[in-house]
Amino acid sequence: MVIFSGAHTVGVVHCGTFGYRLTSDAEKGMDAAYRTSLRSQCNFNANNKVPMDAGNQYAFDSSYFANRTATESDAALNSPRTVDKVRQWKNDNPDWFKASFASAMVKMGGIRGTYGGKVRVNCRRVTGSGRDPHFRISKWSATNVNGTHD
């Protein structure tokens, strides 16, 4: 699954997805200068967007593994269980990353769904629940740097 995180080397992420991480100076694993930069770019607007990869958001390459990340799930790549492999991908040649990613995608494409499983019509919602798992967005957008509501 770590190799699939590399897909985040392209594209953007809405500030509301990770905004709750910007309100705490003690946020584990986030570089203080990067947090300050994200606060400036997001400006407490959940609809603002920032690059998924602080390196080059338009290139499909291994730079994602070398740069800072905004989302909590991406920051988990620095956990003791994955950090050595991530460092290897960061330092290996870009062709190896692309080949590994392609191979993993083909392998995942062969996985059969479980009987009785649910297909999400909207990937942000569990089908039939009506509940958006990103409920923190609206809370964050109304919270200032000190964690109080305006």
- Residue 74 assigned ligand-binding role: no
pLDDT in tens, the chain (150 residues): 777 887 888 889 999 988 888 877 656 667 788 888 999 999 889 999 999 887 777 888 877 776 677 887 777 777 788 778 777 766 766 677 788 889 999 998 888 776 666 677 777 777 665 554 444 433 444 343 444 443
What is the CATH classification number for the domain harbouring 45? 1.10.420.10
Closest CA to 17 of 41, 49, 43: 49
For residue 146, is it within any domain?
Answer: no
Q: Is the dihedral of CA 35, 38, 44, 46 positive or negative?
A: negative
For residue 54, is it within any domain?
Answer: yes
For residue 53, is it within any domain?
Answer: yes
For residue 111, is it within any domain?
Answer: yes
For residue 93, is it within any domain?
Answer: yes
For residue 38, is it within any domain?
Answer: yes
Q: How many domains does the structure of the chain reveal?
A: 1
d(CA 16, CA 52): 13
- Residue 53 assigned ligand-binding role: yes
**What is the pTM (predicted TM-score) of this model?**
0.61
For residue 147, is it within any domain?
Answer: no
What range does the domain containing 111 cover?
2-141
Distances in whole angstroms, Cα of residue 120 to Cα of each of 4, 117, 127:
20, 10, 5
**Beta-carbon count within 10 A of 64 CB:** 28
For residue 18, is it within any domain?
Answer: yes
- Residue 84 assigned ligand-binding role: no
Rg (Cα) of the chain, in Å, rounded? Answer: 17
- Residue 149 assigned ligand-binding role: no
